[in-house]
Copies of this chain bind each other. A is one copy, B any other.
């Protein structure tokens, strides 16, 4: 995680190397070795080109930097500590590249690698083609390094909001449906908490958007069809079909499991430490919800005299 932990790997400390690393980490987009050399040179004459190359090489080995190839005949580098794996759409006409993140692609790649007994250290996804602008002449807002962190935050928040919104709907509906009084109280409590989360997230979202008026109109950065977005929504859908108390609990358990995973996964990737904290906190709370629902489910079954048995609750966490 922390790049400084990796730094000592290669040998002795050196002021010059530290300067290079420093300049590099401040970089926004993708630098070529020579770009970096010039930048370093400007602030710090007396550093040789070879040292920059050597340091770059060492940073890649140490996992601080990632080498990317846009097919221009020279390599470019990017700091790797942010989004361990983001991908590139590369326009072969204007030679600009825009980034995106896709959890779905990531997890599929993990599966494939695992199936082949391959231990992944890093993955590259590059899609070459023609960008909208080059094809139609219409200007589209570009995504440069500077904005990716904002976009990440924006999209993660959007998804979180969608999740909480449908969570709220789900629990409200479930509370209305549940006959058992105790169960109803649980659902009401959860609804209240989701509502609170929703408020927090929406506030953060508004604040974020306020920092950059164009932010909302920029294209999607984070693609994620999995767990989060549709989870509670489809749960609410199921409720509409009519279910009994027990089924409602089971659906809730499934949803919270996904929800917890979502907040955990993206919380860890947040760069903005405040945002990260919010997400990780929520992850914990969703976990607590999950446990609550599981307890409730067990209690229900026990009251029904069926005891703990066949399904769910059997693996309360993973």
Check B71–A223 contact: CB distance below 8 A: no
| A58 interface residue (CB < 8 Å to B) | no
Chain B residues with CB under 8 Å of A105's CB are: 105, 108-109, 112
Question: Once the chains bind, are A130 and B118 in contact (CB under 8 Å)?
Answer: yes
A117 at the interface (CB under 8 A from B): yes
A237 in the interface, Cβ–Cβ < 8 Å?
Answer: no
B69 and A112 within 8 A (CB): no
Answer whether residue A299 sits at the interface, using C-beta atoms and an 8 A cutoff.
no
Task: With both chains docked as a complex, state the minimum distance between the C-beta of A2 and any C-beta of chain B, in angstroms.
Answer: 22
Shortest CB-to-CB span from A221 to chain B, Å, is 10
Q: Is the CB of A257 closer than 8 A to any CB of chain B? A: no
Assess whether A304 is interfacial by the CB under 8 Å rule: no
| Interchain CA distance A108-B102 in the complex, whole Å | 9
Tell me, in angstroms, the Cα distance from A122 to B130 when the chains sit together. 10
* A interface residues, tally (CB under 8 Å): 43
Q: Mark A121-148, 1 if CB is under 8 A from B, else 0.
A: 1111111111110011000100000000
- Residue A3 at the B interface, CB < 8 A? no
Residue in chain B with minimal CB distance to A104: B108
- Of chain B, the residue at the smallest CB distance from A109 is B127
Residues of A near any B CB (own CB < 8 A): 67, 69, 71, 75, 87, 89, 91-92, 98, 100, 102, 104-105, 108-109, 111-113, 115-132, 135-136, 140, 219-220, 223, 225
Q: Beyond A113-B127, A120-B127: 12 further Cβ-contacts under 8 Å?
A: A69-B71, A89-B112, A100-B112, A104-B108, A105-B105, A108-B108, A111-B223, A117-B131, A118-B127, A118-B131, A121-B128, A123-B126
